[in-house]
Structure 1
């Protein structure tokens, strides 16, 4: 609860429903997939709203029309509460058009409503298809500064957000550059460039030889145990518990062996799992297994398994198959239909890998891990900074609506007078009747910012 005295004296409070008009979209009587002379008005459904892709057109009869930059809110469905700016067209039946009343800065209202998405989306109305709880939305306490101050606040928010967005863009660029560097390290490693400066381009280093994967590892092998009791507890590893490109798994699920011994993929400590199905394969879901419960793991049927033989180190194979080049080659050999394409066992068994001596493998692994560990630390810093940038964005908005973002000007007309004009105008528009949609009486004592 925030006392009225804790906002600037020149500010006042109203309910959100008092300072804007709103009207639900409608399903047109005529709707076509092709634009023509009769139906030339874009119909703004969810796809058009979120992605700007218009695939339907109407004639505008009995439609709720909107102009460029009008506010539209997703009213029904999983994204309810999401607000954005419209393109000129007919408002879709799952959207609500929201416009500020005169004397409320349009962008000031936009930033306020946008900041309420998480609350609106987490407290929907309805059981089947969720939709916005109108009483919650229109009764949000809306802090109103004098109109000139609204302009100053919006200007300051946009200045800060512009700087913040530039910083985020820089961080994401650095993130992408790290990804490129990681792949370069792996490429150099398997050309021996990390351990030998005298490598000749396009020549296999001396002492190395190309070998098929199946020559250096057992492919999709059985468990190496003579007998396993049905009640033995084992690690269970669905695809979702394997991270992308990080050689990291989350061993948080367990099963009795009798429950999973059929219909799944078995593996043990030291094995390498490689996602064979799209898009998990392209995303680099691959890991070396360790610390399995009772040394046994059972997982998705969408894994290929590689069990390295005596003279090959598991990490050497792992680093080879997480290369983007390898995954691109694997994708060229996909079998199956769209959405269910898989890397066949024949490709996984037969691909060629350059293999040096075991001592050279150890040197290469050391050089790779030394460089990638630096990448990991930089990546952590970037991820932390990106997370902090979102917190900073929320902090800017919070300060804006508490009157702490810009200085007040005592020459500005108090917002109370502005609100009086807004209420008088609404009263005239509704012929003295209160708006029926929601009760928007303002509390005189304490105001709660939700």
Structure 2
């Protein structure tokens, strides 16, 4: 007969729960301990396999895609119509953690804390439900799951497959977790939430500043093309307000010329600019195509200062223009039109800026013709568009002022974006310090977390 296994003593169970010193990721305060995640869990459970649909009827049930940004997106849950099949053990409780254990490598291990506002909610398949003993605060684990240490430990345990990875219950239960005293757990959560709230407030303001660049640019262009921007300049230079006149594109351009209809390739002698290369009024020199067709190169070769108009694109992008500055030899594709403007009437940069103004975009929306997935503006409609024209010297001044103002705005936008990136780094730093006991909240006089483990008595 096989020898009957002897039941482990409480001390032996305690030693199983503790992480040996040589396996501890880093030092923590003396009244903290490193434990295996499994020792803190009442249960770790797979979700129900009851058939789901997206009808919106029945009870809501979590799916892999429900877990978004460390929470449950209730717009992405499924529903269970056969409600009679739902077991009592299938329901989430407030304080449960749901964890993605089958997913792509960048998403496996992501978690969400279940709150009262999400209930009633059924625990669905391909997500693990973690339910903690009272000695551990679920909110703390939710924060720990956002740390580099946690993510690194998850990835060190995953099972690889062709299109996705997974981590099983046993592997997850072996995860190392720093366990502070119970009161310290709550203080850490409160301190992190306080610091994150301040950072989120700053982040919101910075995002508004970064995202409002387009609005500020539109305001600058409006002032430029209504004469407000150069009002002082006209007074100083004795130029009358009445010097401005309206001219159509046809009046200021000798021709509106469509680009080549021939196909480009991945290599060749000369770049073929396509609609995707027109970005923010300039030429984007990434993702290029080429040609060696001598006839096309001779016929469509661009000159520095040429303005290109995107005649065919999605409805919101049709009508974009960019100015070619001679960076490298290039011709242009058939979805683009080159505006051969008269340089003794209009400055190329002035024309380019005006064709990207809100006034011009309003016109494009009115005259475009819509296809299945794209809109089109033909040369005739472009030619009928009127633009305000001051003297050439004032046009140059307007371009100079626009360039200067937009450079300042771009600088402010870049500073905001850099500050946004630093906020994310600050959050990571706060989390790293929090789980090392470095937020100034730990009280060394408090009873060791080891006593929390002893209080469980490790009953089977």
Which bracket does the TM-score occupy, shorter chain normalised? 0.7 to 0.9
Distance 1:30 1:369 in 2: 56
Q: 1:108 to 1:370 in 2, by over 3 A?
A: same
Q: What's 1:84 paired with?
A: 112
Q: 1:57 aligned to 2:75? A: no
Q: 1:231 to 1:352 in 2, by over 3 A?
A: same
Q: What's 1:45 paired with?
A: 63
Q: 1:353 to 1:10 in 2, by over 3 A?
A: same
Segments of 5+ residues of structure 1 without an aligned counterpart are 224-229, 429-450
**More deviation, 324-333/314-323:** 324-333
Q: 1:178 to 1:27 in 2, by over 3 A?
A: same
**More deviation, 164-173/24-33:** 24-33
Q: What's 2:7 paired with?
A: none
User: Could you state the TM-score of these two structures normalised by the residue count of structure 1?
Assistant: 0.75
Query: How do residues 277-316 of structure 1 correspond to structure 2 at under 5 angstroms?
Result: 277-278=313-314, 281=317, 286-293=321-328, 295-297=329-331, 303=336, 305-310=338-343, 311-316=345-350
Q: What's 1:319 paired with?
A: 353
1:114 is paired with a residue of what secondary structure?
coil
Q: Which has the larger radius of gyration?
A: 2
Report how far residue 109 of structure 1 moved: 0.3
Q: Deviations over 1:317-354 (max 9, x none)?
A: 2212322343344244444456x232422544433222
Q: What's 2:99 paired with?
A: 73
- The answer to whether the Cα contact below 8 Å between 2:99 and 2:129 also exists between their aligned partners in 1 is yes
Segments of 5+ residues of structure 2 without an aligned counterpart are 1-21, 235-239, 261-265
2:98 is paired with a residue of what secondary structure?
strand
Distance 1:254 1:198 in 2: 44
Q: What's 2:374 paired with?
A: 341
Query: How do residues 152-167 of structure 1 correspond to structure 2 at under 5 angstroms?
Result: 152-167=187-202
Report how far residue 132 of structure 1 moved: 3.3
Query: How do residues 96-245 of structure 1 correspond to structure 2 at under 5 angstroms?
Result: 96-116=128-148, 125-134=159-168, 137-196=172-231, 206-217=242-253, 218-222=255-259, 233-235=269-271, 243=279, 245=280
Q: What's 2:15 paired with?
A: none
The correspondence for 2:55, drawn from 33, 42, 46, is 33
Report how far residue 94 of structure 1 moved: 3.9
Report how far residue 17 of structure 1 moved: 3.9
2:444 is paired with a residue of what secondary structure?
coil
Q: What's 1:22 paired with?
A: 44
Count, aligned residues: 405
User: Could you state the TM-score of these two structures normalised by the residue count of structure 2?
Assistant: 0.74
Q: 1:307 to 1:159 in 2, by over 3 A?
A: farther
Q: 1:90 to 1:121 in 2, by over 3 A?
A: farther
Q: 1:376 to 1:103 in 2, by over 3 A?
A: same
Q: Deviations over 1:16-52 (max 9, x none)?
A: 34434433333423646142xxx2x113335554443
The correspondence for 2:414, drawn from 374, 380, 384, is 380
Q: 1:313 to 1:395 in 2, by over 3 A?
A: same
Cα RMSD of the aligned pairs, angstroms, is 3.9
Distance 1:360 1:25 in 2: 70
Q: 1:198 to 1:315 in 2, by over 3 A?
A: closer
Distance 1:210 1:195 in 2: 17
Q: 1:291 to 1:92 in 2, by over 3 A?
A: farther
